[in-house]
Chain A
Amino acid sequence: IFGKMAETMNIVEEIRNRVILGEYNVKNVHTSDYPGNYPGYDDTWDMQKFQKNFRIDIVHLDESTMEFDMVGIDAAIANAFRRILLAEVPTMAIEKVFIYNNTSIVQDEVLAHRLGLVPIKADPRLFEYRTSAEEEGSEIDTIQLQLKIKCSRNPRATKDSADPRELYLNHMVYSRDIKWVPIGNQADVFADSVIAPVHDDILIAQLRPGQELDVIMHCVKGIGQDHAKFSPVATASYRLLPDITLLEPVEGERAERLKRCFSRGVIDIQDVVAKVVDSRLDTCSREFLRHDDLKNAVKLARFRDHFIFTVESTGILPPDVLVTEAIKVLMVKCQRFLSELDSTDLE
């Protein structure tokens, strides 16, 4: 949206659609368009109106990150998706570590903690949650991994080298040393895909000759709410689209200073006059408020219903799959209470 001079949006529209970023405070933050608040507006929920105004635009998508816009939805629901992406989309992670031998200088519990945080590339939708009753995991709810490594002196090292890479063999334990041990029918089910950590260069421990690690690990399905190791996203966040309006013509040297107040690419000088080219790139630092002559020339706001989501996956599932799973989790929550309501009504 291009900033116009003296934008003629009336005050009511502004309160309904924009969050104003002022000098000392942020105004109009909360959603106010509930039925009965504004005389003359019918704000009752209308699915047709929602479907007409709602749109999603994918800006960027690759195997690990995704940036997309969700327009026409309320913050409550967008935030619900963000919270679910962080804490309620399940993944597989190492939960139980059976330590048969650990003579390294890394303590047992520290080693177990580090192993838990290693992301495991296994599709959690193919597994079930472990019901707490069983001690021994079965093939449907557990992945068994093994880490067995021993550090020894390198017989071929030159006499006076001091480089550990030359002197020792296996002195750095990486996640690529974690091997999958198929149990039950997993060898057939996962015949074409190997279950292993997502990244093979995560340093887990360092050893010196004579030290060894012999560890069996069980991976279970869990959610981020239980432990952050189960969170499938590096992070998932959103920001609102900024709306920069120039209230008066700014030209010449003032325009140059105005251009520097915003992120690069937001303001462009065309025919000596400053124009807002792309407000999406702005980080809303409100730098222009520190200049007395530019303070009243700009109006900075955000669109209340335009969310720019950024989802970075840890690599277990691609980011578009994560978003679809998050939406399904919210649907399942609703269905759970609906069936609960129906069952109690029948009583």
Chain B
Amino acid sequence: MAGEGEKKPVLEMVQADGADEGCVTFVLHNEDHTLGNSLRYMIMKTADVDFCGYTITHPSESKINFRIQTRGSIPATEPLRSGLNELSDVCQHVLNTFQARVNEFKERQEEPME
């Protein structure tokens, strides 16, 4: 599943222990602390995650090693997927709140002029 032919890989999985699906290191290409730290936070807040961390292997290469270890026999892609979904939902909520407040502020500014 790592990059077929000319397609540049975006996400790779490197499994250290063949049997245990719960301990996986993902390699995310073209990413840095922006997504790495926020995703790490969301996955750490998930239940049943024993370990979650990320490193930037070398500052010259823009890729991060993202490691997830789960408790029990939960495959590691599950907390990754739920973390990404939750981060996306957080962004959506922040966006909605922000836009509502900006519109409110702009309306309040219009009022004294009327």
Contacts and interface: CB of A to CB of B under 8 A. Distances in A.
A338 B88 CA distance: 10
Contacts of A44: 45-47
Interface of A: 31, 34-35, 43-45, 47, 50-51, 54-58, 61, 68, 70, 73-74, 76-77, 79-80, 83-84, 87-88, 320, 323-324, 327-328, 330-331, 333-338, 340-341, 344-345, 347
24 contacts: A35-B46, A44-B45, A54-B94, A56-B98, A61-B102, A61-B105, A68-B98, A73-B94, A77-B90, A77-B94, A79-B34, A79-B37, A80-B34, A320-B102, A324-B99, A327-B91, A327-B95, A328-B95, A330-B34, A330-B87, A337-B84, A338-B81, A341-B11, A341-B77
B76 to A, nearest CB: 11
Interface centre among B1, B94, B95 (most CB of A within 10 A): B94
A76 B47 CA distance: 19
Contacts of B1: 344, 347
B41 A331 contact: no
A344 B28 CA distance: 14
A80 B101 contact: no
Nearest to A42: B47
B63 to A, nearest CB: 13
Given A56-B101, A334-B91, A31 B47 contact: no
Contacts of B37: 76, 79-80
Interface residues of B, number: 43
Contact of A340 (B11, B33, B40): B11
Contacts of B42: 45
| Most B-side CB within 10 Å, residue of A51, A55, A327, A337 | A337
A324 B98 contact: yes
Nearest to A81: B94
Contacts of B87: 77, 330, 334
A87 B28 CA distance: 19
Interface in B8-64: 10-11, 28, 31-35, 37-42, 44-47
Contact of B10 (A68, A73, A76, A340): A340
Contacts of A55: 97
A56 B97 contact: yes
B80 A341 contact: yes
Nearest to A73: B94
Contacts of A340: 10-11
Nearest to A51: B93
Nearest to B62: A225
Contacts of A58: 101-102, 104-105
A9 to B, nearest CB: 23
Contacts of B33: 79-80, 83
A344 B97 CA distance: 34
Contacts of B94: 54, 56, 70, 73, 77, 327
Interface in B64-112: 77, 80-81, 84-95, 97-99, 101-102, 104-106, 109
A84 B28 contact: no
Nearest to B86: A45
A77 B41 contact: yes
A331 B45 contact: no
Indicate the member of B45, B47, B97 with the most A CB atoms within 10 Å: B45
Contacts of A31: 41
B46 A45 contact: yes
B8 to A, nearest CB: 12
A50 B98 contact: no
B42 to A, nearest CB: 7
Nearest 6 CB-CB pairs, A to B? Answer: A45-B45, A76-B41, A334-B88, A80-B38, A58-B105, A76-B37
Contacts of B105: 58, 61
Contact of B92 (A80, A331, A345): A331
Contacts of B44: 34
Given A80-B35, A83-B34, A337-B28, A331 B91 contact: yes
B39 to A, nearest CB: 8
